[in-house]
Amino acid sequence: MHVIWDPTIIEGYLSDASNICGHAEALVRPKNAKEVSEVVSHCQQQAIPLTVTARRTSTTGGPVPQGGWLLSTERMDNIVSNTEVESGVLLGAYQSHVESCGMLFPPDPTSRHESTVGAAIACNASGARSFCYGPTRPWIEAVEVVFPTGEVQIVDRDTPIPIEWPRIGWVAPDVKTAAGYFPSTNLLDLLIGQEGTLGVITKAWTRLVSQPPGVLLLIAFFPDVASAMSFVAVARNGARRETTPQSVGALNPRAIEYFDHNSLRMVRQRVADVPKQAQSALFLEIEYQDEPPIEAWWDALVDANALVDHTIVADDDRGRRRLHEVRHAIPAGINEQVVRNQMPKLGTDFSVPDDSLTAMMESYASVTLPHVLFGHIGDNHLHLNFLPRDASELEKAKDWYRELAMKAVELGGTVSAEHGIGRIKRELLADMVGPDVIASFQSLKRTVDPAWILGRGVMFEQQ
């Protein structure tokens, strides 16, 4: 196994999208589970910290090493079959492959064209379509995993958690969440979302569905937030919430995304179709079987007081690409603002139960610092991006962030809906679940990983 010691090569692996920078003494890039096992066994014997990394699109600092060795999965990049894929394959490339065969792998994180299948599993990634299809977890049938002892095992939902492993005693909030170890009765579901702390995912077997015959995209504009929220309620009530492809009516979106007035200001800089009177907007993806259900949606928009004459609709590839450009103009605009401000952004990742969305929206509305609010409103999961202009505003943003996080927890929600905990949200996770649950996580980690080599400092402190 070739170990890279050259610091000029290692330097390219030391940060992620959180802009945290770490340090490591060595880098390995194994090609298969056998080579991963050799590395892990060596590190366990020598008590060398080992951080798993891939394409470093994480926003939480999870793949950023704080000493020790780095293990990159980038060379495990083979699509073995439609339902068998190595962990280093880019998620978007895998989706394109199965779609060319008429199938769909539903998880769709924004970074899917830059992130890997293994990373999606390790963080239980989701995206806009999780409103209909859920996160990554239900779409994974089995994984090949290398445990911290070097043991290689194929794990599915019939694989029990070893009897000698401590059980984690908590109930996860009933919302879209990616915070902490999943309270599972089988080993597969425990490994999904463990953020590289309990094992290294080297291969996965997936579950697919048939592609829908048609997908309608729609952007609707509203004169105020209340009108948009009214429409969200209608769309949510008409949606299917189970992970099956069968339709249950015309009003059954697979994604509902929200844009606030600050988001629309950024969109206007790139797109001419945004009405001046619009104060909010919704982006919807709607699957259909025969004909696009435009009439039913149009009637619902009229009832919700939408600016219907400005509604943008697309049901062909060219039109869908155009609407996705509108949607992606927001993160592009945010990044440009960050460059102008020469200050980092700070983005929330909270979700709450359905009946708490209004209260959470009111909390977001109370923020007085420069910000942009957008995201997966169908799952009550919005990203408020603080855009501080100086160091003083950055400190205030951190205070706001924590206050909003605790509000989400108070409302029965989570401090991380899709990005995971990593290194930067450990305190928030501890506040969310309490010391006893953190102690149970630490006890499990210590049993599975005696030298505490994998992902040391990710999710919680070493005990």
Give pLDDT, residue 352: 97
CATH code: domain of residue 355: 3.30.70.2740
Q: What is the pLDDT of residue 322?
A: 83
If asked whether residues 135 and 271 sit together in one domain, one would say: no
Does 405 lie in the same domain as 283? no
- 173 and 223: one domain? no
Q: Which of 209, 238, 260 is the last residue of a domain?
A: 209
Domain boundary among 323, 351, 373: 323
For position 136, which CATH number holds? 3.30.465.10
Q: What percent of the chain stands above pLDDT 90?
A: 79
Report whether 425 contacts 461 (CB < 8 A): no
Position 315 in a domain: yes
Mean pLDDT score across all residues of the chain: 93
Q: Average pLDDT in the 157-161 region?
A: 97
Mark which of 390, 405, 420 sits at the end of a domain: 420
Task: Please state the pTM of the whole predicted model.
Answer: 0.93
Residues 26 and 114 in one domain: yes
Highest average pLDDT, of 85-94, 126-135, 232-241, 320-329, comes from 85-94
Q: Is the pLDDT of residue 10 over 80?
A: yes
At residue 242, the pLDDT reads: 47
Q: For residue range 408-455, what is the model confidence (pLDDT) as tens digits?
A: 999 999 999 999 999 999 999 999 999 999 999 999 999 999 999 999
Q: Given this model, what pLDDT does residue 258 score? A: 96
Q: Which long-range contacts (CB under 8 A, 24 or more apart) does 355-364 make?
A: 356/380, 356/411, 356/412, 356/413, 357/229, 357/232, 358/229, 359/407, 359/411, 360/407, 360/408, 360/411, 360/413, 361/225, 361/229, 363/404, 363/407, 364/404
pLDDT digits (tens, 9 = 90+) for 345-390: 999 999 999 999 999 999 999 999 999 999 999 999 999 999 999 9
Contact 16, 22 (CB under 8 A): no
* C-alpha–C-alpha distance, residues 181 and 455, integer Å: 14
Domain with residue 306: its CATH number is 3.30.70.2190
Residues 353 and 283 in one domain: no
- The domain containing residue 317 runs over which residues? 212-323
Q: Residue 277 domain-assigned?
A: yes
Q: How many CB atoms lie within 10 A of CB 300?
A: 18
| pLDDT value, residue 240 | 52
Residue 442 domain-assigned (yes or no): no
Number of domains within the chain: 3
- Which tens digits make up the pLDDT trace of 245-273? 444 467 889 999 999 999 999 888 877 77
Report the half-sphere exposure of 252 (CA within 13 A, side-chain side).
19
Nearest CA to 202 out of 263, 251, 150, 257 is that of 150
In a domain, 282, yes or no: yes
Does residue 227 form part of some domain?
A: yes
